[in-house]
Structure 1
């Protein structure tokens, strides 16, 4: 971690004051000397001053810095600062509790208690060396002290519980138990301090569990974050809550990524790993290579190949028509190949309206105004959205569906990567891949373009043109396989995606535009006569704002 003089000096003084406070509290617990308790309380004003001073300096530093690495380092100083302040507050709480009962004070004079306090002292002494160290080993040692402190506190609490069951010294035992919990909480503060130092070393705020997952997955690349000069760069977060980071070393030329590290819910990442493996079997080269998979409790981590190129959302926002056109053409070629090679021997209906119904509750939680009752104006009745979905579902069940193909399952713009150098397409975030109607992927892709919260007129025009191109590509493929209900299924697929995607859009005007388009498509389709269904086409105006 880089010792920034403007921040490091007040931090060192803060550490010294917290050490003094801890010394006083430990002596108070050992001797019962109230003067030591008072000494501990006197340190609070000094600690508060250094704490606020450091916060002010960090805010000034952040305001003057644009370098990402420096900003992460400053945030790490803030993290350590808050950890030390939290530790000080717990020491204050211990003094308050212990002063309430002399009997409780006697109950605390146990080996486990003083060993835990000694662990805290060791942790404080390690902070400065850990900051000045080039690696993260000492910071990890700080984090590990939390485990030792918890173990000692839990052992002592178990002894208190046994005595409490016997009804002995109940009030004093409760006071002593509260103090043990405060000591355990100080271990948690120590853990956060260690994480702050590791974060500065890695170039991204990171928790120790995530660090261990990264450490475990990197073995596949014969790398060790403790020994190799590694940094991680935030690349985003999925709607499912998984965090995505790029792993790189200082030796890598031009900042090229070594791999992508994804961490989050174990079930989600297990599905993604399975999805990637399935794609390697069905269409080799479209998905990244998985280097390693690590699970711990209900969390897991994936380390996989970093794919060069740009995601389609970035291509749209760059407003480079030539590159965007080339990317779309290559995508259409790739999809045609995938669908031809993976066609199943039976239909797999998407059941768009069932999908929509399942997500309506989530939509209404974000936009309660969309849950409008049925109204009648001048004899013209406007049905509820639920009623429209019921009617559309009845129609959908009658539509012939072509043979299923293997689809991406979450075919958003940011899950498709185009490499203009190799003119190649890759897919990422593959945890929902399955056999289904090809219209599922295309309708999701079209709405993910419309959903972009960029209202530059040029961008909106490109979005509309992109949606139209995808629609026409789907039409060409439908004609190729004699799919007679493509346009109707696409209308239902788009309505499903327009309506459900509003839960990810907080801009009220943009969300309303999506909602009205989704509702309009359903109303339009269910009012068609048998003859009109055969010639129905989605009006291109719906793709424009």
Structure 2
């Protein structure tokens, strides 16, 4: 965020000038007990609204007419403007309260005026913060929140004590005024975050920035001397945000590290998962640079791994995709051989599916059919099919446990074409389990991709077939006779449960039908046919 966009910056300056006038008039009204000052404060609101609208219009035109990618900087301006307009409306509310009531006699003027002066100081820092080459002033704006909130909290505590002794309407009104000033502090914090976000290239809260600052300092990266740029790289289904961290002096694709933020439980599991992979199969997982926690949130900074995920390989060309699959199969064989245990691990595909039915029906309520009958033809409910398949699952011979990824989707596997190496990411679910767990997830993660070009769907079909055949070969070499049955159950689970991530109704129905087909097919085979069971190959076709 800088003065690269003079028209937008001009609108912001006008907005700030009128907002400062609005705040100063409120300060004068409280200091001098002057009702006319409150009217003067209220008169600025129309000017502020106009400046805000002007900024938004100019920002829109700039994005439309700009050939460069300045969206992050412009969005920083917009975020600041929205926060300032919110602050103006909070000031307006306080002025109305002070006009219509007389809470001034109960206000601790010294504390209130000190809090409002800090608020004014914060507004004065905004322009220098935008013009500055570093983030020091932006952080100073954010840190003013704590001072203002402390002053307000002390006064509110005093009011609460007085109200316990005697109820007074004026005290209640005074509490409202102080509480509103406390809200203003939070809004000022949002202003500071908006300036920081515009400079970094992605929206980031001050707590997140401080976590990032702490983690980078552990890499001997001095933010005071070196500026960084962060850009979004996705969001996991568990709600974690993923950003690439690059030096501002380098090209954006020259990423220094990956910064991941989210629930502490998830990120702690991932940290442990990465560390465990380093013990069991060194080199497959990224290196953890730092782990920071605060309350129920945490941040993880880890190595940026080169390579493409398999959903990207799918769009490249068939040879690169085949090379990636061959490298993956070789790597999986090594991992399974290195981590195999004598302990056998039964699958739990049907119990997993049963637990996810409510989430599936929340997205696709039309899937919740309780069984249909037309003449003598009956279609059992999904719940009944799951119960029948669960009985079959209990009878199957478990495979020897190996260490698996646990969330083996196409976007969690990286293939470096130049090095011919495979790496894993997003490892919070890694554990000892039946290898069919990972293979069935991977096959369906290919199928559910929202790619409908016939050539791409052909590659998806061939990739699914190749994954299944690789598993079958491994099973044969290891005398695993129930591989096909377990994979059928795993695929049924993954086809049906993955519909909750697919909003395209036709695509979701196709996945549901494939899952149901497998469950119905399994329910019709005799125990004598288990050893000769073959997965229906038409399953891979659209």
TM category (shorter chain) comes to: over 0.9
Alignment of 1:343-358 (within 5 A): 343-358=340-355
Note the C-alpha offset of 1:64: 1.9
Partner SS for 2:330 = helix
Gaps of at least 5 residues in structure 2 are none
Q: Give me the whole-angstrom Cα distance separating, in 2, the residues matched to 1:446 and 1:225.
A: 43
Aligned to 2:432: 435
Please give the alpha-carbon distance, in whole angstroms, between the structure 2 residues aligned to 1:478 and 1:143: 59
Deviations 1:176-206 (A, max 9, x none): 1111111111111111111111112111111
Residues 1:123 and 2:122 are matched in the alignment: yes
- More divergent stretch after superposition (184-193 vs 418-427): 184-193
Q: CA deviation at 1:253?
A: 6.2
Q: Are 2:30 and 2:109, in contact at CA under 8 Å, matched by a contact in 1?
A: no
Q: In the alignment, is the contact (CA less than 8 A) between 1:413 and 1:448 conserved in 2?
A: yes
Instruction: Return the offset for 1:168.
Output: 4.1
Aligned to 2:111: 112
User: How far off is 1:66 after superposition?
Assistant: 4.6
2 CA distance for matches of 1:110 and 1:250? 46
1:350-372 CA distances to partner (integer Å, 9 max, x unpaired)? Answer: 21001100111111111111110
CA–CA distance in structure 1, aligned partners of residues 108 and 328 of structure 2: 71
Q: Deviations over 1:383-438 (max 9, x none)?
A: 11111100100000000011110000000000000000000000000000000000
* 2: CA distance, partners of 1:255 / 1:338: 31
Cα distance between partner residues in 2 of 1:290 and 1:321: 33
Task: Give the secondary structure class of the aligned counterpart of 2:432.
Answer: strand
Q: Alpha-carbon deviation of 1:540?
A: 2.1
Cα separation, 1, equivalents of 2:74 and 2:311: 32
Aligned pairs for 1:73-92 (under 5 A) are 73-92=73-92
1:262 match: secondary structure = strand
Residue 374 of structure 1 and its aligned partner are, at CA, apart by: 1.5
Which residue matches 1:174? 172
Aligned positions of 1:381-392 closer than 5 A: 381-392=378-389
Q: Distance in 2 between matches of 1:499 and 1:168?
A: 60
Contact 2:31 2:109 in 1 (8 A): no
- Aligned residue for 1:124, secondary structure, equals helix
Alignment partner, residue 410 of structure 2: 413
Q: Report the Cα offset of residue 510 of structure 1.
A: 0.7
After TM superposition, list the pairs within 5 Å mapping 1:53-92 onto structure 2. Answer: 53-68=54-69, 70-92=70-92
Alignment-derived partner of residue 221 in structure 1: 219
Deviation sequence 1:37-63 (CA, Å, 0-9, x none): 110111011111111111111111111
Tell me the number of residue pairs that the alignment of Structure 1 and Structure 2 aligns.
Answer: 541
- 1:538 CA drift (Å): 1.5
C-alpha separation in 2, matches of 1:350 and 1:64: 56
User: Is 2:468 aligned against 1:471?
Assistant: yes
Per-residue CA shift, 1:319-371, capped at 9, x if unaligned? x1111111000000000000011011211122100110011111111111111
CA contact (8 A) 2:245 2:258 kept: yes
Unaligned runs of 5+ in 1: none
Q: 1:161 to 1:132 in 2, by over 3 A?
A: same
Please give the alpha-carbon distance, in whole angstroms, between the structure 1 residues aligned to 2:367 and 2:408: 25
Q: Which residue of 1 aligns with 2:28?
A: 27
* Matches of 2:375 and 2:54, distance apart in 1: 68
The question of 1:140 aligning with 2:139 is answered yes
1:498 maps to what in 2? 495
User: Is 1:306 aligned to 2:299, yes or no?
Assistant: no
Give the Cα–Cα distance (whole angstroms) in 2 for the partners of residues 381 and 494 of structure 1: 24
| CA-CA distance at 1:65 after TM superposition | 2.6
Q: What is the distance in 2 between the residues matched to 1:317 and 1:172?
A: 68
* Corresponding residue number in structure 2 for 1:42: 43
1:401 alignment counterpart: 398
Q: Indicate if the aligned counterparts of 1:356 and 1:496 stay in contact, CA closer than 8 A.
A: yes
CA contact (8 A) 2:285 2:423 kept: yes
Q: Supply the distance in 1 between the matched residues of 2:67 and 2:262 (Cα, whole angstroms).
A: 29
Offset at residue 166 of structure 1 (A): 0.7
CA–CA distance in structure 2, aligned partners of residues 67 and 190 of structure 1: 30
SS in 1 for 2:43: helix
The 5 Å alignment of 1:331-350 reads 331-350=328-347
Q: Give the conservation status (yes or no) of the 8 Å contact 1:65–1:71.
A: no
Residue 531 of structure 1: how far off its partner (Å): 2.8
1:79-119 CA-partner distances (Å, limit 9, x unpaired): 110111001000010011122321x1221243221111011
CA-CA distance at 1:33 after TM superposition: 1.2
Measure the CA separation in 1 of the matches of 2:308 and 2:16.
Answer: 46
Contact 2:342 2:401 in 1 (8 A): yes
User: In 2, distance between residues paired with 1:158 and 1:339?
Assistant: 62
Shift, 1:251, TM fit: 3.7
> What is the CA distance between 1:256 and its match in structure 2?
1.4
Q: Check conservation: 1:263, 1:299, Cα contact below 8 A.
A: yes
Whole-Å separation in 2 of the counterparts to 1:75 and 1:254: 18
- State the match for 2:511 in structure 1: 514
Deviation, 1:517, is: 0.6
Q: 1:544 Cα deviation (Å)?
A: 1.5
Equivalent-residue separation in structure 1 for 2:67 and 2:507 (angstroms): 32
* Equivalence for 1:362: 359
1:100 is aligned to: 100
Post-superposition offset of 1:71? 1.0
